[in-house]
Amino acid sequence: MIATSFSVGVLSSLAPTPIHQAFARDLLVLPVLLPLAAACLSLLTSSILWRRILMLGTTLLLVALSGWLLPMADLGQVLVYRLGNWPVPVAIVLSLDRLAALLLLLTAIVATGSAWAALRGDDQHGPHFHAALLLLIAGVNGAFLTGDLFNLFVSFELLLIASYGLLVFGGTPARVRSGVQYAVLNLVGSSIFLVGIGMLYSVTGTLNLAELSQRVALLDAPSAAFARSGALLLLVVFALKAALVPFSFWLPAAYSAASPPVAALFAILTKVGVYAIVRMSTMVVGTDAAHRANLYGEWLWPMAVATVAFGALAAIGTRSVRRLQSALLIVSVGTMLASMAHGSEEGLSAGLFYLVHSTIAAAAMFLIAGLSEQRDAPRRWTSVLFFVGALSVAGLPPLSGFLGKVLMLQAFPADSRLPVMWTVVLGSSLLAVIALSRRGAALFWGAADAPETSTLTRAREQRRPVPRALLSRVPPTALLLVLAAVTIGAGALSDFTQRTAQQLLAPSQLRSQILDAPGGR
Amino acid sequence: MNLLLASAIAVLIGSGAYLVLRARLFTVLLGLMLVGYGVNLFLLAMGRVRVLVPPIITDAGGPYADPLPQALVLTAIVIGFGMTAFLLALAVRSRSVFGSDHVDGLADSTDSASASDSAAAPPVLVARHAAS
pLDDT of residue A376: 62
Dist CA A4 CA A10 (whole Å) = 14
**What does the pLDDT look like over A360-396, one tens digit per residue?**
999 999 988 888 877 665 677 788 888 888 888 888 7
Dist CA A165 CA A266 (whole Å) = 12
DSSP sequence for A62-101: HHHHHHHHHHHHTTSPPEEEEGGG--TTTS-EEEE-HHHH
Q: Say whether pLDDT at A262 is over 80.
A: yes
pLDDT of residue A10: 40
Dist CA A253 CA A34 (whole Å) = 32
Q: Say whether pLDDT at A289 is over 60.
A: no
Averaged over A302-322, what is the pLDDT? 89
Which residues have a Cβ under 8 Å from the Cβ of A298 and sit 6 or more positions away? none
Averaged over A247-263, what is the pLDDT? 88
Count Cβ atoms below 10 Å from residue A434 Cβ, excluding itself: 14
Number of H helices, E strands in chain A: 22, 2
pLDDT of residue A240: 93
Q: Say whether pLDDT at A188 is over 90.
A: yes
Dist CA A408 CA A430 (whole Å) = 16
**What does the pLDDT look like over A21-52, one tens digit per residue?**
777 788 888 999 999 999 999 989 888 888 88
Tell me which of B88, B92, B114 to substitute to probe the interface with A (most A C-beta atoms closer than 10 Å).
Answer: B114
Contact B46 A201 (CB under 8 A): yes
Dist CA B46 CA A430 (whole Å) = 49
**What does the pLDDT look like over B35-77, one tens digit per residue?**
999 999 999 888 888 778 887 777 777 778 888 888 899 999 9
Provide the terminal-to-terminal Cα distance of chain B, rounded to the nearest Å.
Answer: 42
**What does the pLDDT look like over A475-494, one tens digit per residue?**
888 888 898 888 888 888 98
Is the ipTM here above 0.85?
no
Q: Say whether pLDDT at A236 is over 80.
A: yes
Q: Say whether pLDDT at B110 is over 70.
A: no
B102 bridge partner residues: B24
Q: Chain A closest CA to B25's CA: distance in Å?
A: 9
Averaged over A229-254, what is the pLDDT? 90
Q: Which residue has the higher pLDDT, A288 or A97?
A: A97
A46 and A92 in contact (C-beta within 8 Å)? no
pLDDT of residue A271: 93
Q: Chain B closest CA to A409's CA: distance in Å?
A: 34
**Nearest neighbour of B117 by CB, restricted to A172, A195, A319:** A172
pLDDT level of residue A17 (50, 70, 90 thresholds): low
**What does the pLDDT look like over A136-165, one tens digit per residue?**
999 999 999 998 899 999 999 999 999 998
Averaged over A69-86, what is the pLDDT? 84
- Compute CA distances A323 → A254, A255, A452, B113, whole Å: 9, 8, 13, 9
Q: Say whether pLDDT at A447 is over 90.
A: no
Q: Chain B closest CA to A352's CA: distance in Å?
A: 31
pLDDT of residue B106: 55
Q: Say whether pLDDT at A64 is over 60.
A: yes
Question: In a 3-state reduction of DSSP, which class is residue A312?
Answer: helix
Task: Search chain B and give the residue with CA nearest A160.
Answer: B83
Q: Say whether pLDDT at B130 is over 50.
A: no
Contact B83 A187 (CB under 8 A): yes
pLDDT level of residue A12 (50, 70, 90 thresholds): very low
A95 bridge partner residues: A80
Tell me which of A186, A194, A197, A318 to substitute to probe the interface with B (most B C-beta atoms closer than 10 Å).
Answer: A194
DSSP sequence for B62-131: -----HHHHHHHHHHHHHHHHHHHHHHHHHHHHHHHHSS-BTT-S--S---SSGGGS---HHHHHHHHHH
Question: What mean pLDDT is reported for chain A?
Answer: 83
Averaged over A202-222, what is the pLDDT? 85
Tell me which of A90, A92, A166, A176 to substitute to probe the interface with B (most B C-beta atoms closer than 10 Å).
Answer: A176
pLDDT of residue A375: 65
Q: Chain B closest CA to A183's CA: distance in Å?
A: 7
Task: Search chain A and give the residue with CA nearest B73.
Answer: A194
Contact B117 A197 (CB under 8 A): no
pLDDT of residue A446: 63
Q: Chain A closest CA to B43's CA: distance in Å?
A: 5
**Nearest neighbour of A177 by CB, restricted to B45, B105, B118:** B105
